Structure formats: C-alpha cells, structure tokens
Amino acid sequence: MAEMASQTQRSVPLGAILTAGRYGAKGPDGPGVTLRLRHPLSIVTVMARKGRAEALAAALRDGFGLALPGPGQSTAAQDLALRWAGPEQWLAIAEGGRDGDLHQRLTAALADTASLVDQSQGRVAIVIAGPRARAVLAKGTAVDLHPSRFRPGQVAMTQMAHVGIHLAQSAPDVFELLVFRSFAESLFEFLIAMAAEYGYEVVSRE
Amino acid sequence: MTSRRLAQGGLIDRSRPIRFTFDHKSFAGLAGDTLASALLANGRMLMARSFKYHRPRGVVTAGASEPNALMEIGERGRRDANSRATMVELYDGLFAVSQNRWPSLAFDLGAVNGLAASIFVAGFYYKTFMWPKSFWEKVYEPLIRRAAGLGRASHEPDPDAYEKAYAHCDVLVIGSGPAGLMAALAAGRAGARVIFADEGSRLGGSLLAEREEIAGDSGFAFVAATLAELEALPNVTLMPRTTVFGWFDGNVFGALERVNKHVAVPPAHEPVERYWRIIAKQAVMATGAEERPLVFGGNDKPGVMQASAIRAYVNRYAVTPGARAVVFTNNSSGYRTARDVLAAGIDVAAIIDARDGGTETHAAGVPLIADAVVTRVVGRERITGVNVLKGGATTADRIEADFVAMSGGWNPVIHLSCHKGDKPVWDAERACFLPPSSTPGLIPVGAAAGALTLSQCLKDGSAAGARAAGLAGFKATSIAVPETRDDEPYSIRPLWHVRQSTAKAFVDFQNDVTLEDIPLAAREGFNSIELVKRFTTSGMGTDQGKLSNINASGILAEATGRTVPEIGTTTFRPFYTPVSFGALTGAFRATHYQPVRKTPLHEWCEEMGAVFMEAGLWLRSAWFPKPGEDWRAAATREVMAVRQSVGICDVSTLGKIDLQGSDATALLNRLYCNGFSTLQPGKARYGLMLREDGFLFDDGTVSHLASGHYFITTTTANAGRVMSHIEFCHQALWPELGVQYVSVTDQWAQIAVAGPNARRVLERVIAEDLADAAFPYLGAQAVTVAGGIPARLFRISFSGELAYELSVPADHGNHVARLLMSEGSGFGIVPYGVEALSIMRIEKGHVAGGELNGTTTPEDLGLGRMVSRNKDFIGRMMGEREALKAGNRDVLVGVKPVEPDHQLRAGAHLLTRGAVASLDNDQGYVTSVAWSPMLRQWIGLALLKRGRERHGEIVQVYDDLRNSRMLVEVTHPCFYDRENLKLHG
Amino acid sequence: MLIDCPYCGERLSEEFTILGDATKQRPAGSGASDIDAWYDYVFIRDNPKGRHREYWQHTGGCRAWLVVERDTLTHQVYAVTPARDASA
C-alpha cells in the first residue's frame, strides 16, 4: 500500500504564476487593486429537487440559519454562504477545503430536498479588491458594477474576457470571481494585464 | 518661411514650445496646437498630394472630416497611416511624413497624372484595364495602387497595448459644444449618471473655435466654468479624446478613446487606445454641424478652406492661413469669418455672396460682392487671387488674396442617428438633411438637429439634457440658459456647384472626384447616389465623404432633373471616423487571443516533458519525447509500452456532467439512442447521442454511481455543446422531468491507466478489491486513493487494453499521477499522450471526431445494434428515414496500403480500382490514419460506399491535393485484437 | 442588442447563444402518420421579417434557455420568457 494521502500534497491553482509582490504602475496612492486567491475553499452546487425548493429553503433555514437567496443575490451565516447560481441552483461556500467535508455536511441536512455536487476543486476563487477594482473588471464584463447597481451581497453570472465567471461583491470594493479551474490562469493573466495601469499587489494566501 | 502665428489670442500655450518634424525637417509649434495648426503657423500650406492626380493640397478643415491633410505619424511599429493632421495633437518628438508623393511633396512626379486628367475620368480604370483579364491582378492593379495611394501600413508589430472596456450611464452626451455642455449640465445636475464624450482633445466643441459672448464673458470662459462644475459632479464622467463612432441596438454606443495618442510613447502600463462600449439609457446627440465646401474652379488649391475652419485656426490656435482673405459664401457663415479674420488684424479683400444679397451685417470696409461666384482660384502652390463673375456679367474680375474662405452651408452631423437604418429628412429652408424623425433613445440637439444659432443651441441643449435625464428616470427640469449677444439668423440659398467654373472643380477632395464625374456617371446610367458613389468613388475615402456627399447629391439632382430629397444620401454606417485594428482587437491578441484551458495535470505533464497541442481551448499533452525522439518515435514507444505493460494518460479534458434526480434515467433514455433502464449502480455503459435529424452527435460513457445518480462523460470537442443540448432538452422539451445536472469537468483530474499491468499498478494505490470478479469490465465505483483521497474508478477502455479511468479531485491530480508513476516504475510505466491514444483507438477501430463528423449514423459506423427500437429518444424518427437505411451509404471500414510503407492521409478520397476520379465515381474517404506500431505499417479508418460488403477488395486512394495515389485493401475497421481478449485480461 | 434575461437582467447579446425558431413543438407521436409533423419540426423553418420567437441560451450567464420574442429587422425585443415556462 502506498503512503497515506496528505492534504498538503494538493496542488494550488495558479501556483505557477501567483507570486506575491507589487506590480505595474507605482502611484503615490498605493496599488489600485489587490489580488489574492482563496484556497482551499469548499464549494458545493446545491440544486433543488423537482418541486422541493420550498422544502430546501426550510431545511437551510432550520439547519444553517440561512435564507435561500433569489436571482442575483447571496446570503451568509456564520461559516456558510449561499450564492445564487442559476435557476433553482446555488453555490454553498465555506472556508477550508478538506475533501468532501462540506458536501457531507450538506448531504446530511439536504439530501432529500436537493442534489448536491462537490465543486470545491473545480472552481478557483480570485479576489480583486481596491479603489480601481471596478475599472479593471469593466474591461472584461458588461455587467454594470456601479455601487448603486451592484451592491455588496449581490452576485452575477457573466463573462470576463470570454471566460464564464460567477461574480460576487463580498464587501464594498471587494469582488470575488469564481472561475472554472482550467480557465483560472488565463483569467488571472488577463486581470493583472488590465490592472497594470493602476498598479496592483498580489497578496499571498492567508 | 513666414510665421503665421498671430501675436495674441488663442488657446495655445505660448510658454511651451514643442519640437516636431515634418518630412524630416524640424519645426516648432506650441502646446495646444494640432499638427495642422502648427504647420500653418510655420507657413506650411502644402501638406499632401491628392489621391489620383497628385495635385498639391493643403488643409481644408480644422476637425475630424479632413480629406486632404493625411499623414503618416510615428515610426516603425507605431506608424499610423492616413492620420488627419487636424486631429493629431502636437507633442514633443512628433514624427510626421507626407503621403502619396515621389520623390517629394513639393516635386511629385505623379503630378503628370494631372496633365492627362481628361482621360483619368471616373470609370477610366474599369474600362481601360479590363483586358486581358489575367493582367488585372498581376500588372494593372499593383501599378495603379502604387501611383494612387494613401499611407503605408507598418509591417512591424505595434509595440503598444490596446484594450476594451464597458461603460454604463443614464445619459450619454455626445459632443461638447454649446448644446452638449448644457445637456450634460442639465442631466448632471438632475443626478443622472452622465458620460460626456467628445472627439476633441479638450471639451468645448465649437465654442473653442468661435468668438462668442456668453453671460457677459467669452465663450472660452463659459466652457471653463461649465466644465469646472461638471468635473465637480461625482455622477459625471468627462471623456475628451473619445469619438463615439456608432449607435447600435439596445442603445449601445461604440467609442474610441485615444488615451495616449498625444504622446510619443505611452507611459508604462497604459494603453494607447481604449475601445468602449457604452450602454446608455438615453443619449443626447450634440454632434454639431459640418460646413460644406463650395464646388468651383480650383477649389482644391492649398489655401482654400472651410470658412469655419479659418475661424478655428484664427480664434483657437491664433494662426492665420495667409495675409489677405477672400470669402466666398452662400450663407451667413462667410460673414462671420470675415469679421473674425479682420478682428485678428488680417485683411479681407471681399465677401463674394452667391445670393442676391444677404441680410448679414458685414464688417466695415470689406467690399460685398453680391450675386456673384468665384469661377477660378488663381495661383499654383500659393494662391494669388480669385476670378469673380457677377450675375449677368460675361467677364470675371480678379481679386487678389492668398487664402479663400468658402462656405456652402451646413450639414448637421447626423451620422449616428442614421446607424440603425433610418433615413434622414431633408429640410428645404436650411438646405440640409436632419436626423430621422424618430430616434428612440437618442435625442439629436443643437446644430446636429438643425439649430444653427448659439442661443438656440444653449436653450435646446438644456432642454434635451433635462428630457434625457427624465426619460432615464430622474426628476429634471431645464436649467437656466445664459445670455448671449443677438444671433445672426441663418439664411442660405443652396449652390451645389459653380457652373461657370473655368478650372477643375472638386466635389470629393480625397478621392479626386470632379464636378464632371457626377453627370458622367448619370449619363452612364449610374443615376442613383449609391451607384454614383461606387462609379466615381465619391465618398469612399477614409473621410467617407463628410464634405462631399451632400454636394454630390445636389449635383446629381441638378444633372438628372430631380430634387435633393429625391436623390437622398448614401447609407450612414459605423464607423464615423476610422478605428484602428489595434483597438478593435483590444487586449485579445497573441497569448490573450483566446482563453487557454489547462488540465489539473498540466504541471505533471510538464515535468514529464510533454509536448502540448491545442484541442479547442485546451492544451493537451500530445506525446512525451525522450531525447532524440520525434513525435512518431515517441508515440510508437508509448503505444508499445501500453500494449505490453502499462501507461497513464491525462484525459481530464473529457466533458463531465453530474446528473441526479428521480427522472435521471428517463432523461438518459431520451438523450441517448441506446437504453439505460438496465444499467445497474456500479456499472458504466457506452452511450451514443444523436441529433434530432438522426445523425450522430456525440459519444461517451454513462456511469451509474448510486441509484438515480449518474456521471456522464462527453468528447472533449463537444463538451460545451452536449451540456447546452441537455439543458435544452430538459428546459425546453421536458421541463416536467425531475432532473438536476451540472458540469463537473473541472472538478476532476481524470487519468487513464491502460495496459496488461494496469490493475497491478492501481492495486498499489487503491485499497479496494480490483480483481476481475469484484470489479469487472464496465465497473464504476468510488475508491480511496493513497489512503485518503476520495476518488472514482471506471473500468473503461479506449485503447482496447485492460484499462481504467481514475478520477481524483483536481488539486490531487499531479500528486496521484506522480504516485502512479513511482508505483508503476517496476512495470516500466510510461506517460502517453493524445497521439498514442489516437493510434491505439484507430488500431481498435474505435470512432472519434473524424468519424463522428455530422454525416454519419450509428448504422454507418457499425453501431446500429445500439439503437433502441422501443423508446422515444432524440433523433429516433429522422433516423428511420429510408435513405439512411438504403444500404448504399458510406460505412466504416479499415484500409491498409498494399505497399506497407505508403503513408495514408486523412481526407483522401476512395475510388473503385481503375475508375476515373470524378464526383460520380467517388466511393468515400479516409477519416483517420495512423502508423500502427502493432502492424508496423500505415492503417486508416474510412467511410466507404457499401464498405461492409467489400472487405478484402483493393480500392484506389486518390488525393490530388497532396498529389498522392495508392492502392489499399479494405478491411474490418478493427485491426488489433478483434476478439477483445486483452480488454478483459 | 440587449436581452433582458428573466433571471440576470439586461445583458448584451454576446452573452447569449441563439438556437433559432421557437414556434415549433416537438411532435408527441412516433407513428408513420406523424412523419410529416416530424419533417416540419426538424427541417422546416420560416424566416420572418419582423416579429419572431426564438430560442436563446444565456450561455455566458445563468445558462437558462429562453424564448425571446423579437423583431428580426429592428432587433427590438418584446418579451423574454424562460423556456421551461414557455413550452408548458
């Protein structure tokens, strides 16, 4: 038998290109944006079973104290967030990414109201924050991100530089892009190219 | 040369001299100059040679419509051809070169064309260079192109960065003259999100070019004060140097921002141009009006300019084109120019008014010659005077002057409002076309809407800004309109051309279209304005006929006895002014041309020395060469290792879909032509999807993980299409089904482990029992890898060997692949790539993209037995069509060259032995080929007419594209281990 | 062109993929007498100038299939309905 598996041997997405430091234009006001990777992360697709959306909402409320967010919305409670991800579909997101943990937790509570699919390692979460974050994102997506139109807590499924993304504003000026893992490097390279004129800082994972 | 800079005035910064070169000579200008104004200030009137006749030309305008003063700006990869000197902001080190002249601008040999002008009329080329036909491409066209040309495109890569961006607003105000300023202010004060864009280097539009008095102060001061207020409003974004070039569906506007065209080299990290798409709830089109030239003898000589352009040079740039002006007009504009020129201390010899007499006040001391026309401009490279013919007179009088202001009236700049296909409306009183009567989402205002006085523009702009903000959902009222001096009312009598002209009169300066060309076109039968455009090329230059189109319509109207509104205009289309290819491409070039997808095993593949190939957006490992190996040697070695022992391959690119729900099985039965009702949990099955027309769409595997929970794979190429297809079938066709599905392509690293020793290697990393009895062919189950990694194992084979596909969560992929390599080292395990994979599937006669090519049915590929007869599924009905069952279709066979070393090529056609190559005799074609390491020769799969009856027959391979012919033997498509002994091994 | 996705709001048409005619119903029957209905469903398409119903998918967004009623000449969009509701 081979050696015991270890979570420490997992590859980190963007590992090859993500190096902490300050890049691009160096203005007096500091970098226009900061970029970081959220990893590891637990992500589970939650799909309401036919005719069971209300039961799912109730189970989430009772089990996690979470409301089921409507289109373009998200909810969060303690260590779990829910983001709308299409008709009758949501992404459940939690910090930490031990294989299958969140999936098992949700299965225990929701299995008869929802189909649950672990996506933790199929999506990469890139956080872009700072005063010029909107200007950078506007170079890739046609979604109106003006503070009056896209507020913290809102989410949007859209494209960024021809790559499908799930976009969320987690706090004022803090945007999180969930992207299919295979596109992550390409998307990250696009983002830093577009951020260079404002100056950007790549922050290592916490 | 004489300096033509006026001693005072203007918006130039006299404390900041700027050095630039033109035709390799050094000049000085001032900050705030354009290249055109700086050249004029240096006494350089000659700026270009014309397109066809190589006539000397000077600048005609002070703005975007410039047809003549086109230059190459910048050096090497930064060289921009056909740049309008009127729009090029002066900067230190600017490098400009004139175009279309040889050997020099002042002495151009091409000017002999002008001597022969009588034969170079419109249509000359079409008629003269028709014969012999083959000469056109090789001889005539290159010669003509060399003689008649514009600037040279650079052959070097552009070193600068371009990008695209989106913007959103409640009100987009296009144009920053008096109407635009008031509109932006009204909308901005109402709280609307305003984008205020103008093509100019600074905002203010015509107010920067005119001597105005607004609210008791100068027009310049009014602009400054208004901009200061707009700048302070957080909801207003000012976008100078931004040309809104198109109006598209959904009130989306295209705009080009020249971010760094006013510097020699953009600052580090900044783009040179940005291509905007602006999504506006409402737009205000305050694009102003363009002054029409008059068409009279010698009107193209350097020094004949738009009257309004002369005002711009005098008032904004403090430059005069000469020492003594003569004004030729048919409307109020000429009078205004006379006043401004006089105010700058320059002589005005006379105002020549084509009307019987205007009501305008003209400056004291300037003779007014009413009911008169200029028949000819006199002088060669420098004007010395004009010939003036009074109404009723037979001989012309000479008036001495060294520059000519001309005004034929105003054309509102209505281009954007017509981009959606609506026709402009003729206004007889003002002799111009106005915007279409209804332009929802776009409010034309100011001169663009025919308001040709300052007070009207300010008033209408205020109202339009308030209206736009109101329509966008804001409470808005018109804002107070500042006081202005009494405006001169606009009056005009159209003069489309001076028929008494005694020299060549030009309609289209850029394309050298003369007054005679248009009636000629009409006589030749090209009597609609669209045909005249194409026959004469009027309006087809880089300026798109901004100055010439309406005059051409007027002249055609007169020549054919119709009215201008009957003639109409040519079609207005984006782009309003030229947009660089760089901007259209944006950042999406070179490595960013399209996104690149990498598999979770990419890092491991690199470690193994993979050569990557593009498969759609994916990078896939094609083969893993050892030192000295070419692709074929590497792939051959990889195949041999797999067939003899074991290899692993990255198959993560396969599309993967998780399907669950109470009706999951029912959905599968409808999606695939074969059935899934009998597929037990823990088992996998090969599946075929058809299109609704009965042809094959995709193939893959369906694994039943747990009751009602399936894992589907698709081909790499069709992954996206299959997902959309499933979504369509569920959402549009059968929404009543209880199914949930989502793509999990990126969640799993998928590793094929193939070869007689595959099980032995896997047993070293997986605890579960993998013995044939416990985990037989087409088994599918959850396993644990390396004592802790949750994984899925599928016993499926593409290679024909004992084979598995192992799925592990993506982060674990590299680690597990390394582990398999080390655990398999005792078996001589190798990594193998797509090339070896492909060779092995061809040896086994398995179909892939070459055979699933949209023209084949399951029957054609020998998979007919899979098609269920007792259920509904996509493609069932059309798959039953007679012609698909007729028995004479091209069906899958193997082909083997009779001479084993002959190389087969995919795409080659098949003919019966001895048949002549013709469409009628075509018997099919080769779909996939490989050099088979097992057979030691080239083999191929082919689609051959009635091929199943023809095994053993020798047919011809015909490939005239690659000049290859050979004989091949038709065989069963499976070349290797037809009994599938190894699969179950 | 902007399409007002019932889930995501107004988005540029480049986020969507068009399939085409949404006026046809997939025939329920599969007998010999149904063959004409099948030919019509699979192969026969009107190409109207003016108002038309088309299937579009919000592929660059929520992935919902939509029935978009629009003018093929002016590109004015009159109505957008989720396909799951429209086909019922």
CATH number, position C43:
3.30.2270.10
* Closest by Cβ to B877, choosing from C2, C19, C30: C30
Residue C62, domain member (yes or no): yes
d(CA C84, nearest CA chain B) in Å: 5
Looking at residue B144, what is its pLDDT? 60
The pLDDT > 70 percentage for chain A reads: 95
CA atoms within 13 A of residue B58's CA, in its CB half-sphere: 26
Looking at residue B363, what is its pLDDT? 72
Q: Residue A142 in contact with residue C11, Cβ under 8 Å?
A: yes
| Beta bridge partner(s), residue B702 | B685, B712
Q: Which residue shows structure tokens 């031990």?
A: A98
Give chain B positions within 8 Å (CB) of A123. Answer: 746
Residue C68, domain member (yes or no): yes
Touching B: A residues 156-195, CB under 8 Å: 161-163, 180-183, 185-187, 189-190, 193-194
Could you give the ipTM of this predicted complex? 0.98
d(CA C51, nearest CA chain B) in Å: 16
What's chain C's average pLDDT?
Answer: 94
Looking at residue A78, what is its pLDDT? 83
Whole-prediction pTM: 0.94
Residue B798 tokens read as 């593409």
Looking at residue B126, what is its pLDDT? 63
* Closest by Cβ to C83, choosing from B251, B731, B877: B731
CA distance C13 to B502: 56
Residue-wise pLDDT for A147-206, tens only, equals: 999 999 999 999 999 999 999 999 999 999 999 999 999 999 999 999 999 999 999 865
Residue C9, domain member (yes or no): yes
Inform me whether the C-beta atom of residue A87 falls under 8 Å from chain C C-beta atoms: yes
CA distance B544 to B541: 5
- 8 Å CB contact of B587 and A186: no
Give the DSSP letter string of A25-71: ---TT--SEEEEEE-SEEEEEEEEPTT-HHHHHHHHHHHHS-----T
Q: Which residue shows structure tokens 């026969």?
A: C44
Under the banding of pLDDT at 50, 70 and 90, the label for residue A3 is: very low
Residue C31, domain member (yes or no): no
Looking at residue B618, what is its pLDDT? 98
Instruction: Please give the span between the terminal C-alpha atoms of chain C, in angstroms, as a whole number.
Output: 27
All partners of chain B with 3 or more CB pairs under 8 angstroms: A, C
Residue C15, domain member (yes or no): yes
Q: Which residue shows structure tokens 């703005």?
A: B63
Residue B678 tokens read as 């009998």
Return the exposure string of B649-670: e unless at least 16 CB atoms fall within 10 Å of the residue's CB, then b.
Answer: bbbbbbbbbbbbbebbbbbbbb
Residue-wise pLDDT for A50-93, tens only, equals: 999 999 999 999 999 999 999 999 999 988 999 999 999 999 99
- 8 Å CB contact of A144 and B279: yes
Inform me whether the C-beta atom of residue C13 falls under 8 Å from chain A C-beta atoms: no
* Closest by Cβ to B790, choosing from A89, A99, A138: A99
How far, in Å, are B48, B88, B773 from residue B66 at the CA level?
A: 12, 11, 84
Cβ atoms within 10 A of the Cβ of B139, count?
Answer: 12
Closest chain B residue to the Cα of C83, Cα to Cα: B732
Inform me whether the C-beta atom of residue B876 falls under 8 Å from chain A C-beta atoms: no
| DSSP assigned state of A198 | G
How far, in Å, are B48, B64, B65, B83, B145 from residue B72 at the CA level?
A: 11, 16, 17, 6, 17
Residues of chain B with pLDDT under 50: none
The number of domains in chain C is 1
Residue C30, domain member (yes or no): no
Residue of B574, B553, B555, B577 lying closest to B565 (CA atoms): B553
Residue of B355, B357, B352, B358 lying closest to B375 (CA atoms): B352
- 8 Å CB contact of C30 and B872: yes
Q: Is the pLDDT of residue A5 over 50?
A: no
d(CA C52, nearest CA chain A) in Å: 25
| A-interface mutation test, from B166, B474, B766, most A Cβ less than 10 A away | B166
Residue-wise pLDDT for C61-73, tens only, equals: 999 999 999 999 9
Inform me whether the C-beta atom of residue B882 falls under 8 Å from chain C C-beta atoms: no
Structural domain span for residue C56 = 2-24+36-85
Give, to the nearest 10 degrees, the angle between helix B219-232 and helix B178-189. Answer: 30
* Closest by Cβ to A86, choosing from C11, C60, C63: C63
d(CA A54, nearest CA chain B) in Å: 15
Inform me whether the C-beta atom of residue C11 falls under 8 Å from chain A C-beta atoms: yes
Residue C81, domain member (yes or no): yes
How far, in Å, are A28, B160, B267, B268, B983 from residue A25 at the CA level?
A: 10, 16, 9, 7, 59
- 8 Å CB contact of B592 and A190: yes
Residue C79, domain member (yes or no): yes
Q: Are strands B194-197 and B162-174 parallel, antiparallel or unpaired?
A: parallel
Looking at residue B130, what is its pLDDT? 60
The alpha carbon torsion through B705, B710, B716, B718 (nearest 10 deg) reads 170
CA distance B748 to A117: 12
Residue-wise pLDDT for C5-55, tens only, equals: 999 999 999 999 999 999 999 999 888 899 999 999 999 999 999 999 999
